[in-house]
Structure 1
Amino acid sequence: MKKTIKKKSPSKQAQNKWILNDVKKPLNKKPQPLKHTMSVNRPGTRNELPLPRDVQSREITKKRPYKRMNLLLVAPDHPMPGAPNEILLEEQLRHLARNVTTIKYTQPLAEQLNRPDLDLILIIGGEEPFSDESTDALKNTPVRKVLWLSDKEKPFDLDSRTVSLFDYILTQKMAHIPVYRALQCRNCVCLPYASDTGMYFPRPVEDRYKSDLLLIGHAEPKSILYSFAFSDLPADEKIRVCGRGWETFPSLIIIPPDEDLAPYYNGARIVINCSGSLMQTLEVAACGAFQLIQQHSELTPFLEAGDWVTFQTQDEFADKFLYYRENVDHRRLAASRALADNQYNHSFLQKGIQLLDLVFD
């Protein structure tokens, strides 16, 4: 007897092919040029304001091959809140440069700077003070120097003497640029860290981390998130919240401030992200979770339109929430596209390319 082979219906095949092609869209895009996605503050710019600079219309040529370069990476002695994954950063820089030497803040810096073949000094963190010996060594070396701050919450309390040591100060938030400008920073650029993919990645989680909705943001009256929590929360659903001021909402399960958020991202059916934090947005995306993102000036230059589901008004939020709540396939598709865009355009490899393009352009 001839064996009968069951085939998917043409409509189902077409639907699956459409979903697969849509997921691949972020992977088919060219990496975004650095100055198209970053705000640069240089003395003498128009009105002395940090302006986005779009260089897509001209060809970007590198003045020197990065593979011949030698980099010195200076990392904090101990893990700091908001600091990048030093190992991931170093691994990706090694793909770009000939040699990457990593030392800690407390190790002697002067002897490293005496190397004749050194091309770049990259210091990450910025919370630990430099010794007088290291300060003098940085001041006297002709090698290009970059301080990549981990200031995701608030600007660091730097002084003008420290700022003057560096050719570039890289900050996590555009709102911090004016603070460092006031210290006569020569070049201040917003370049957020990549998410730590060793911590934030798609994985199954226990029931205690799961939720129907995860709200990210503070309880600010008249805000979209506050209005939603006050009057429009779905009944009989498990709703968690990450942020300050939600104690007066008994139906919400508040995540403690010091909790690891990765399992909560993975356990959420829908994330409503009103934090305005690019880092948190990338971390949610890295977990493969679907999120509705409130537009914010800190996000707009970095999130490619079409790969992220955003909203600006209360009505727009209500429409998109109802739509994605009922359309599971489209929710999964949006989460997959954001995950792909995060991996391709916001990895430490891409950040390293952007940094080198900036410093050696």
Structure 2
Amino acid sequence: MRKKEKKSEIRSTAAARNKIPSNKRQSKPLSKSQSKSLNKSNSKSQESLLDIIQGKSNATSTAPMFVLPPPMETSHEDLTRSNQGLIAPQSQPVSNFQLPDSRTAKSMRLALLIPLTEQFTPSVESLIADSLRMLVKEVLILKINENLHDSLSTYRPDLLLCIGNQAAQSITPELVPQSIYTKTAIWLNDPYEPCEYIHSAYHDWSLVITQNMLHHPIYERYGYKNIIVMPYSADPMIYKPHRPQPEFHSDLLIVGNYSEERLPYIHAIRHRFEGKKVRALGQNWEPVDQIETCQADSETMISAYYNGANMIVHWDAAPRQLYEIAACGVFQIVENSPEIHELMKPGEDIIIYRNPEQLGSKLQYYSENTDDKRMIASRALYSSKYDYSYLQAAMKLIQQLNHL
């Protein structure tokens, strides 16, 4: 009788245990083999971003670290696929180019030559240097002076990367002799005008990096064969989302200079923003009615004007300005040019216009459809961190040098 009672108690206990939620059950202690496998899986999941960049993880190189929703088609001609039925969302890789071979990059010694006279903030120089240190074996920072020859002869880097235009004028055969057998690249500071020194440069650069696509054929005529377009990225210490003081706020901010040929665009803007606060960041705006000229004497103030704007329209902008506005997470409408399609993703993280009528219609659409406007701005902010950063630029540079 007692045996039957014990059996019934065991059955009732087992049944009650099955009713307990699985997350509240007491798990059995792990065996040694199970604990070892668990530790291995934990250590793999804690690999650093640097290990992933260097190809040390087991993840596939095409898998993005972050996946956004599929691109939104918005505003008139941007709705290119709306009548084609539903399309399954596809995740896109973070960058449009392959990672450099980690074995090749990690054996590379790089000398970074910084300017002495050009207006570069220390943070930009350190951003370039820190990004390169994540990819190559060693980075040595040098300056253009009489000791450069001795430093290069002693250090013997695999690559000499010069930042700015000063090197195009100052590098001579005496400072960088051909006997060193070093690949040389110059990253020009030429957002608006081509570098005038590169034409008569003493040194034959292995790679010329320009910030403006329009300068590419000019440097080609000078005899340079390896040329790429790569603007300086935004400084994340300055250009980042923040809430500025009320004196920097505007309903619309125009970035660019005023001229008479821009008058039809001004009429389109006034028609959509009548009675609202419109500001302009550029030159020759003083005689234009109903538009307030911004007074910015520092990059910090420029960032404040960007962040204070509900939306931004600009023309004749330097490529780097596209990245700086994107880094602030602000919606921007830009005049169409071939360069825009190379540097960003129109329809996804930036909106383009081709004439005054199109500008007016897109201003109207995105003023009424704030969710679409917010999505474009969010994608731009995401891209500024993972597609248009100095790390991505350094990866592109190393990959290009591997093909020289």
TM over 0.5: yes
Residue by residue, what CA displacement relative to the aligned partner does 1:138-161 show, whole Å, maximum 9, x if unpaired? 242310000111111211211545
- Which structure's residues are more often helix, by fraction? 2
- Secondary structure of the structure 2 residue equivalent to 1:208: helix
| 1:5 alignment partner in structure 2 | none
Q: Which structure dedicates a bigger proportion of its chain to strand?
A: 1
Alignment pair present for 1:225 and 2:273: no
Assess if the C-alpha contact under 8 Å between 2:272 and 2:360 holds in 1.
Answer: no
Shift of 1:74: 0.5
Alignment of 1:247-266 (within 5 A): 247-256=286-295, 258-260=297-299, 261-266=302-307
Instruction: Identify if the C-alpha distance between structure 1 residues 142 and 273 changes in structure 2 by more than 3 Å, giving closer, same or farther.
Output: same
Equivalent in the alignment of 2:337:
296
Q: How far did 1:185 drift? A: 2.0
Q: For the structure 1 residues 311 and 129, does the alpha-carbon distance in structure 2 shift closer, same or farther, using more than 3 Å as the test?
A: closer
2:215 is the alignment partner of 1:215? no
Give the corresponding residue for 1:29: 93
| CA distance in structure 1 between the partners assigned to 2:217 and 2:305 by the alignment | 35
**Code of the aligned partner of 1:221:** E
Q: Is the 8 A contact 1:291 1:309 kept in 2?
A: yes
Native 8 Å contact 2:272 2:363 kept in 1: no
Q: How does 1:228-243 map to 2 (within 5 A)?
A: 228-229=268-269, 231-243=270-282
Cα separation, 2, equivalents of 1:91 and 1:211: 36
What does 1:262-277 align with in structure 2 at a 5 Å threshold? 262-277=303-318
Shift of 1:109: 1.1
Residues 1:168 and 1:102: Cα distance change in structure 2 (over 3 Å): same
Q: 1:267 to 1:159 in 2, by over 3 A?
A: closer
Any idea what the Cα deviations from partners look like across 1:230-286, whole Å, max 9, x if unmatched? x52522211110122222213111123644311000000111122342211111110
1:84 and 1:222 map into 2 onto residues whose CA distance is 38
Match 2:134 to one of 95, 105, 113: 95
Q: TM (normalized to structure 1)?
A: 0.78
Hey, what's the Cα distance between the residues in 2 that align with 1:308 and 1:356?
27
Residue 333 of structure 2 aligns with an amino acid whose one-letter code is L
Q: Tell me if 1:281 matches 2:322.
A: yes
Corresponding pairs, count: 316
Counterpart check, 1:170 vs 2:209: yes
Deviation by residue 1:102-126 (Cα, 9 ceiling, x = unmatched):
1222362112211465210000011
1:90-129 aligned at under 5 Å gives the runs 90-106=129-145, 108-115=147-154, 118-127=157-166
Cα distance per residue 1:302-337 (max 9 Å; x no partner): 212423222223333222211211222222211101
8 A Cα contact 2:106 2:137, kept in partner: yes
Q: Secondary structure at the match of 2:139?
A: strand
Give the AA of the match of 1:339.
L
8 Å CA contact 1:220–1:226 kept in 2: the answer is: no
Q: Given the superposition, is the C-alpha separation of residues 284 and 99 from structure 1 closer, same or farther in structure 2, using an over 3 Å criterion? A: same
For 2:144 and 2:112, locate their aligned partners in 1 and report how far apart those are by CA, in whole Å.
10
What TM-score does the superposition give when structure 2 sets the normalisation length? 0.71
Q: Matched residue of 2:162: which SS?
A: strand
Q: Which residue of 2 aligns with 1:136?
A: 174
**Alignment match, 2:242:** 203
Which residue pairs with 1:155 in the alignment?
Answer: 194
User: What CA RMSD, in Å, does the superposition of the two structures yield over aligned residues?
Assistant: 2.9
Bigger-Rg structure (1/2): 2
Q: Say which SS state the counterpart of residue 112 (structure 1) adopts.
A: helix
Q: Does residue 1:246 correspond to 2:310, yes or no? A: no
Distance 2:154 2:169 in 1: 20
Q: Which amino acid aligns with 1:297?
A: P
SS at match of 2:295: coil
Q: CA distance change for structure 1 residues 214 and 167 in 2, over 3 Å: closer, same or farther?
A: same
Identity %: 26
Displacement after TM superposition at 1:345 (Å): 1.0
Is the 1:26–1:337 Cα contact (8 Å) retained in structure 2?
Answer: no
Residues 106 and 271 (structure 1 numbering): CA distance in 2 closer, same or farther, change over 3 Å?
A: same
Deviation of 1:62 (Å):
4.6
The higher-RCO structure (CA 8 Å, 6+ apart) is 1
User: In structure 2, do the counterparts of structure 1 residues 314 and 183 end up closer, same or farther at CA, with 3 Å as the change threshold?
Assistant: same
Unaligned regions of 5+ residues in structure 1, if any?
Answer: 1-19, 35-59
**Amino acid paired to 1:228:** A
